[in-house]
Amino acid sequence: MIYQFPWIHTPVRTALAIWNQLTKTDILELTKGSVMMRERSRVEDTIHSMQKAGARSLQVISDFDMTLTRFAYQGKRVPTTHNILNNRLLINEDSTKKMKELLNRYYPIEIDANLSPEEKLPYMVEWWTKVHELLIQQRIRKDMLAHAVRESSAMLREGYRVFFDCLAEQRVPLLIFSAGVGDVLEEVIRQNDVFHPNVHIISNYMDFDHAGILQAFKGQLIHSYNKREGALSHATALRELHGRPNVLLLGDSLGDLSMADGVSEAQNILTVGFLNDQVEDRKESYMNSFDIVLVKDETMDVPNAILRYIISETRKVHRKKVDTT
C-alpha cells in the first residue's frame, strides 16, 4: 500500500517568505543585525502608508557628516567637512593643533548621553564659533577647497549612488541640513557625481572677499542642536517641498530629529538614526527617539530598501500608463 504525504511535496518556506507573512512589508534589510526598532509594527504601518501615497508625496531630509558620509573606514575615522579644512593646504600647523584640541574637548560633550540638548547647546555654540574664528584667521582661499576635498579621505556611505540617483529619478527633493561647512559639503557631493537638481542644502557657508579669501561665515550659525530654528526659517523658502507631507529623515544625532519641524501639514515622518559611536551608552536614548536605529552600519542599505519599497507603487502606476498608451 502506498501512503500519500502531501506535506512532503510542499516547498520548504524560506526565512524571507515567513517574514513576509508576519509583516506588512517585504523589506528584508530591516532584518539585518545592525537594525533596531522600538515599535516594529508602527514602522511598518508608516512605510506602508508612505508607499500608498507614492513618490510625489515624499521628501527626504538628511544630515550630512556621519549620516550620508561614513563614520569610519578600515578602522580610521572619516573626516567631517570641518575636518577636511584641517589641511596643510589651508591652515598652518598651530591651527591644526588647536582644532584637534577643540574636538577633544567638545565632541565628548556632544555625544554625552547624560546631558540634555539644552545643556549641550551653549557648548556647541562655543565649539562652532571658535572653529569658525580659527578658520577665518587662516585666510582660506576659495580656489583651494576642491583640492583639499580631493586630497582628503572623505567618503560617502556604501550605496550612496543608488540613494542619490533614485531620488533624482523620482524627482523626490533631498534637503541636506548640515552643521558642517556648506562649501565643502557641495564639493564632496560634486566630486562623487551626485549633485543632482533635486538636492538642496542648508548649512554654514563661507563668505569670501573679492580676492577669494575667507572673511566670515554667512547668516545664522548652524550647529548640531539648533537645527529646529533653521528648519522653521527655511521651510517656506523651498517651494519644492510644499505638498509633500511624507518625510524620510536621516541623522546621526538626537539634534537631527528637529530637521522636519518646518514641514507643513506633515502626515508621516519616518526617522532613521545612525548610531556610530559610544553605542552602549547611547543605545537607549536612540531607541527611544528614532523609529529605526542602525548600529555601526556604514551603508545606505536600509534607506535604499525603504525608498525602493515606497516608490514601488509609483513605478507600477507609471508602467500601467505606459502599457495603455
AA identity, residue 158: E
Listed residue (321, 317, 299, 307) closest to 167, CA to CA: 307
Tell me how far apart the terminal alpha carbons of the chain are, to the nearest angstrom.
60
Q: What is the DSSP string of 79-103?
A: P-HHHHT-STTTS-HHHHHHHHHHH
Q: What is the DSSP string of 174-198?
A: EEEEEEEEHHHHHHHHHHTT---TT
Q: Which three cell numbers stand for residue 40?
A: 516594529
Catalytically active residues are 63, 65
| 143, HSE (Cβ side, Cα atoms, 13 Å) | 4
Long-range contacts made by residues 124-132, C-beta under 8 angstroms, separation at least 24?
Answer: 124/223, 124/224, 124/225, 124/226, 125/221, 125/223, 125/226, 127/102, 127/223, 128/179, 128/204, 128/221, 128/223, 129/221, 130/102, 131/82, 131/99, 131/102, 132/204, 132/217, 132/221
Q: What is the spatial distance between Cα 307 and Cα 262, in angstroms, rounded to a whole number?
A: 22
